[in-house]
Chains A and B, each alone.
Chain A
Amino acid sequence: MTTATEALTAAPHPLAGKRMTGAEMVVQVLADEGVDTIFGYSGGAILPTYDAVFRHNEELRDADGQLPMPLIVPANEQGAGFMAAGYARATGRVGVCMVTSGPGATNTVTPVRDCLADSVPIVVICGQVPTHVIGTDAFQEAPVSAIMGSVAKHVFLVTDATRLESTVRTAFEIARSGRPGPVVIDIPKDVQNAIGEFRGTGLLPIKSYRQRVQDVADNALSASAAKAFFQFLGESRRPLLYVGGGVINGGAAPALRRFAERYQVPVATTLMGIGAIDTTSPLSLHMLGMHGTAYANYAVDDCDLLIAVGARFDDRVATDPGSFAPKARKIVHLDVDASEVGKVRNADWYHVGLLARDLDMLTSWGERHNVRTDTSAWLAELQANKDRYALNYDRDSELIQPNFVVEEINKHAKGEAIISTGVGQHQMWAAQYMDFREPRLWLTSGSMGTMGFGLPAAVGAQFAHPERLVIDIDGDASIRMNLGELETVTTYKLPIKIVVLNNFGDGMVRQWQKLFYKGRLSGSDKSLHRKDFVKAAQADGFEYAARLDRKADVPRVVEEFVNFDGPAFLEVIIDQDAGVYPMVGPGLSYDQMITGDFIPNRHEPDEGEEPDGSSMF
């Protein structure tokens, strides 16, 4: 927000006072916001702004021919939305997607909802039919502000051209402030064409929202709150940090690591929190929840203090909220969003604020007050559990086990590659078996669970980090959802590595059907599908496109695939019956976790009545 003093002292925008079209103003604000890539698909109602992007790029093309704001064109607008999301997840910066009206805009509804559910900042700019025909069922008209109002953090329909410039700027502010999220700007074509004076500064007067965000930012932990927190920690012998995606979104991973190290508190992360702590650290218990590691879930069962940070007791973690962390005498909750506190579980101590600052404040308060914790017995117990209940699978099978493939990929990725996934079994195997030494390397659709996320997210991430190794670990059913984007990978010569773990169907759906529906594989078996994925990749220009169906070849082929210089595609024919273990059934408590045939279980298998699958989700 520009204050009066800033307005007086700051140099005016070099283009302030220049007359330009609304479309040119949109592009200039994008440039001012530091946007270096736009993902989008053209069409009638967005033509003026596409033209303005073209002219901006031509004017500012550098000596090497590099464009300041390249426009990356997907096969489908959903792809553009997930590319913007992949870019945002991999960087923390706002991803930008630009599409036309009607179907262009509605195709981005899924990524917009996905970004809201996982708190990812993107701005989607949609063309709209001209103001005077809105509501007449015009060609390519859709009620974007009504549709997006339910799935975006906020949506603007710009009907007043004089407010366009400040609206675009404000959209970025809203997307990145507080709990981040997607913002949609719906711009009628006549507003894009309207000529006005560019001011180069100014935001919409959303004083109350801004004040509430500021209140959270100003809400530093008090000394008395810190004291109360350390009283809980001091009384605890078995504390556990339960860490969610908020730590990554809030840039709080370094602060979390300092806190965990200083007080020797073990860390279990949610799916979205993976990478908040180095997964190879002795303090890391990896992922908890429905498909978490057995030792992380046992730690939840055994802890006497649960410290939730940027996590929300979601139904994939607190599968049965009442029995979650049953021995925890105290529950502590830190979050940036007040509505998450007490939503599922009440906390004995909570704080709504900026996680990085608040965790560092706790660490330093404890240091100043010479707080000592002794968790060595607890950590030793957890280490024994990590050894005893380690992830495992059928290593002797003749068939290729997906876990083995992921382990081999992990040897080359070394915890430093960006990994994206679709949704389902392969997503869980990747979450379980890959290492992540840093945040923002793990890109996955957590809350919405959108199949088809992996490939476009990898494209967005590779544009954000051209030098990094980017691997899309995908499933045959998931990749089909956005298979058109294979062509986008080769069009832009992106050296993305795409591995499809092919089990000829919707593996996770089948796993549930086997467990809860007596094996009736309704709609989930694709063994009659005739798709040749390798030919499909070749047709889209992949010079490396291979099929792997012999176990003995896995290490060699994975190595050549990962190290191929350029886009590479690998289909792996995996054991169709491979399941994801451990598994805590939906609605069940952690002591009812099943661990399969290859991971020990500290509870006797429950011979009770079969659960009613139809009521589970």
Chain B
Amino acid sequence: MRHIISILLQNEAGALARVASMFSTRGYNIESLSVAPTESPEVSRLTLVTIGSDQVISQINKQLLKMVDVVNMADMTLGDHIERELALVKLRLEPDQLPDMLKLTAQEGARVLDDSADNFTMELTGAANLVDDFIDRLIGRADILAVVRSGPLAIARGQQVLRSATG
């Protein structure tokens, strides 16, 4: 099953590599990984998508909590959460395709960043499956030059907040 795991990580030399290495060492997959600092420059937040059985996910969680750099982690999939991914897409269009593409973009809620036919560029924000569907729809309708995805981000709904274990 697909799980979105959020990790608060101390900003230490090599910390990100150690987390990634734990996954490869133990044979776990990383489908996507997104990292940036939080409001505190000492702590980064990773959002990681992995696929595994309940047993594997349970091991991932426990192994993460053994790592010295890991401040805290949560399996977002276990609770109600909001998932968003940003995609930037660049297409080459024939001039006569432009109206159709603008229509599709509007329908899907994407935003046009550059409307020239030679390098038609847009952004879309949504859950990963929405982004998947959008890109599927583009295939065959246009010459896709680049697909750039952030990988999903997730935040818990309601009052739940992932914090340092010590508060």
Determine which residue in B25, B59, B66 has the highest number of CB atoms from chain A within 10 A of its CB, and name it: B66
Q: CA of A159 to CA of B63 in the docked complex: distance in angstroms?
A: 27
User: Is A339 touching B59 in the complex (CB atoms < 8 A)?
Assistant: yes
Chain A: number of interface residues, binned into ranges: 20 to 34
The segment from A45-53, A146-154, A366-374, A485-493 that touches chain B is A146-154
Q: CA of A148 to CA of B55 in the docked complex: distance in angstroms?
A: 27
* Nearest CB of chain A from residue B40's CB, rounded to whole Å: 12
User: Is B58 touching A208 in the complex (CB atoms < 8 A)?
Assistant: no
Across the two chains, which residue of chain A brings its CB closest to B64? Answer: A339
User: Is B65 touching A212 in the complex (CB atoms < 8 A)?
Assistant: yes
User: Is B58 touching A211 in the complex (CB atoms < 8 A)?
Assistant: no
User: Is A338 touching B62 in the complex (CB atoms < 8 A)?
Assistant: yes
A90 within 8 Å of B (CB atoms): no
Contact of A149 among B10, B18, B65, B70 (CB under 8 A): B18
User: Is A339 touching B14 in the complex (CB atoms < 8 A)?
Assistant: no
User: Is B17 touching A149 in the complex (CB atoms < 8 A)?
Assistant: yes
Contact of B66 among A146, A155, A339 (CB under 8 A): A339
Q: A208-B71, A208-B72, A339-B62 are in contact. Are A159 and B166 (CB under 8 A)?
A: no
User: Is B17 touching A146 in the complex (CB atoms < 8 A)?
Assistant: yes
User: Is B14 touching A146 in the complex (CB atoms < 8 A)?
Assistant: yes
Which chain A residues in 159-178 approach chain B with CB under 8 Å?
Answer: 159, 174, 178
B139 within 8 Å of A (CB atoms): no
Could you tell me the dominant secondary structure of chain A's interface residues? Answer: mixed
Q: Which residues of B contact A211 (CB under 8 A)?
A: 165-166
* Nearest CB of chain B from residue A576's CB, rounded to whole Å: 38
Q: A145-B14, A157-B14 are in contact. Are A209 and B68 (CB under 8 A)?
A: yes
A206 within 8 Å of B (CB atoms): yes
User: Is A212 touching B165 in the complex (CB atoms < 8 A)?
Assistant: yes
A282 within 8 Å of B (CB atoms): no
Across the two chains, which residue of chain A brings its CB closest to B61? Answer: A339
Determine which residue in A157, A208, A339 has the highest number of CB atoms from chain B within 10 A of its CB, and name it: A208
Q: A159-B13, A174-B68 are in contact. Are A342 and B55 (CB under 8 A)?
A: yes
Q: CA of A338 to CA of B58 in the docked complex: distance in angstroms?
A: 10
Q: A339-B62, A342-B55, A342-B58 are in contact. Are A208 and B70 (CB under 8 A)?
A: yes
Number of interface residues of B (CB under 8 A): 24
A207 within 8 Å of B (CB atoms): yes
* Nearest CB of chain B from residue A188's CB, rounded to whole Å: 11
B164 within 8 Å of A (CB atoms): yes
* Nearest CB of chain B from residue A132's CB, rounded to whole Å: 15
Which chain B residues in 53-82 approach chain A with CB under 8 Å?
Answer: 55, 58-59, 62-63, 65-72
Q: CA of A157 to CA of B17 in the docked complex: distance in angstroms?
A: 13
User: Is A339 touching B63 in the complex (CB atoms < 8 A)?
Assistant: yes
B21 within 8 Å of A (CB atoms): yes
Which chain B residues in 14-66 approach chain A with CB under 8 Å?
Answer: 14, 17-18, 21, 25, 55, 58-59, 62-63, 65-66
Which chain A residues in 443-466 approach chain B with CB under 8 Å?
Answer: none
Q: A208-B71, A339-B62 are in contact. Are A150 and B21 (CB under 8 A)?
A: yes
* Nearest CB of chain B from residue A184's CB, rounded to whole Å: 11
* Nearest CB of chain B from residue A565's CB, rounded to whole Å: 46
Contact of A343 among B10, B59, B65 (CB under 8 A): B59
Q: CA of A338 to CA of B65 in the docked complex: distance in angstroms?
A: 9
Which chain A residues in 304-350 approach chain B with CB under 8 Å?
Answer: 337-339, 342-343
Q: Which residues of A contact B17 (CB under 8 A)?
A: 146, 149
Q: Which residues of B contact A146 (CB under 8 A)?
A: 14, 17
Q: Which residues of A contact B62 (CB under 8 A)?
A: 338-339
Q: Which residues of B contact A206 (CB under 8 A)?
A: 10, 68
Q: CA of A543 to CA of B126 in the docked complex: distance in angstroms?
A: 78
Q: CA of A337 to CA of B63 in the docked complex: distance in angstroms?
A: 10
Q: CA of A154 to CA of B166 in the docked complex: distance in angstroms?
A: 21
* Nearest CB of chain B from residue A105's CB, rounded to whole Å: 14
Q: List 13 A-B contacts (CB under 8 A).
A: A146-B17, A149-B14, A149-B18, A149-B21, A150-B25, A154-B69, A156-B12, A157-B13, A206-B68, A207-B71, A207-B165, A211-B165, A339-B66
Residues of chain A touching chain B, judged by Cβ–Cβ distance below 8 Å, are: 145-146, 149-150, 153-157, 159, 174, 178-179, 206-209, 211-212, 337-339, 342-343
Q: Rank and list the top 8 A-B pairs by shortest CB-CB distance, nearest first.
A: A339-B62, A149-B18, A154-B68, A208-B71, A150-B21, A145-B14, A157-B13, A207-B166
Task: Given contacts A208-B72, A212-B65, list 15 more A-B pairs with CB under 8 A.
Answer: A145-B13, A146-B14, A149-B14, A154-B68, A154-B69, A159-B13, A206-B10, A206-B68, A208-B71, A208-B165, A208-B166, A211-B165, A338-B65, A339-B63, A342-B58
